[in-house]
Structure 1
Amino acid sequence: MEILNHLDFATALKALAPELWQGLMIALEATLGGFLLAVILSILIAVGRLSHYKILRGLLLVFLEVIRGTPLLVQLVYMFYVVPLLISLVVQFFIPGYQFQLNPLVAGILGLGINYGCYLSEVVRAAILSIDKGQTEAALALGYTHRQALWSIVIPQATRQAVPVFGNYLIMMIKDTSLLAFITVNELLLRTQAYASQTFLTIESYTILAVAYLILSLPLSQAVRLLEKRLSKHV
């Protein structure tokens, strides 16, 4: 009980507020970049898995299993530490002494985008399969090619159906940006760790961090619910 009497949330909040604001900007940058990449990859992977090319479907299935079968944290560490080494080794065959370096934030965006893109691809694929095939047949009858019918008619409708699920994954990604601290991205968690280790205000620091994530995610969760209700009225 003695430790509770020495808690100093006011001091911790005053010192952490500007740090958390800067960390928040970095976290939002990583989230927006990662989610944009995830959406693009999810559509491409979903379309690829529905293609008529067995080799392409097989390669994508293996890729999905590898990504979904390994933790996101391991993928981020691999992207930041291992991928630059592999690229350097390949390029050194042509340019001796070449050393490739990857910015931590860029590595984080790539890691988040690839990981979430694989999971979202299943959402998009299911949404595409749920679209009535009669719409594609009608488009073909009007002179559309299969590719035009897919990208002009099916994909837009499927994406609209997947929007609520996309919103939930967006909220998850915002919270998963805390993992970027392990690849030296100076976001919310890393800044809080640094402050807590210097001041020993551990309880205060991490409690404020948790509240900051709540303040960030709860309004987004409510917005996703409202969007889901609005879209359901037009189905």
Structure 2
Amino acid sequence: MNHGPLVFLGLLVSVVCSWAAVVMVPQFQVGDQGMVRIEETGQDYPQAPAGLARRGAEVYRANGCQYCHTQQVRDAGEGQDLARGWGARRTVVRDYLRDQPAMIGTVRYGPDLTNHGIREHDRVKLLQRLYNPRWVMPGSPMPRYPYLFELRRVGPDGGSSLNALPLPEGEGPGAGLEVVPTPDAEALVAYLLSLRADPLFFEVFPPPAPKPATNAEPSTLTATNLPPSP
């Protein structure tokens, strides 16, 4: 007996079911989500990276930063992300609404960067970490990115440029030279400083619990679950 049509029908049903589970179900669940107004700040969330930070997102992706860093804070029952201070809440779908593409990441050789802009504010420290991570954290497995910087000769007066990178003592490139961040390095740092997903937009802020009454009269209700009288 020829079972070809039956096999074809079975494969077709399998493909359709898989497509529905992977594409249609998530679309029905989160496809209608949009920006939401944060009443506490009066701003819409999430906002797309703007200006230099938008260019920095491209540099982040081009250098494969998402292969060693995640942008996904897990719930308390799934890890220690909240205990480590990587965020005030777990990450939700809306956080990635303006990311094209969403760089969630899969491996954590380094810390999660979802709220890096909240934890780190020092631009110079971030630039130093990009040039040589071991200066900031000895033994760091993070690779160096020297190609994001330029070596320039110091001016005739012997003074460094305004945007020259401050280097630890004894770590300079040589006499008469200075290290200057490229526009890509500045853009990447701007992007890292812009990373924050802290609005509690999905939380319901409960009203304060009412204070117990101080002048309440004793209850006159009788208990109804007592055993019957003999």
What range describes the TM-score normalised by the shorter chain of this pair?
Answer: under 0.3
Specify which structure has the higher proportion of helix: 1
- Give TM-score scaled by structure 2 length: 0.25
| Structure whose alpha-carbon radius of gyration is higher | 2
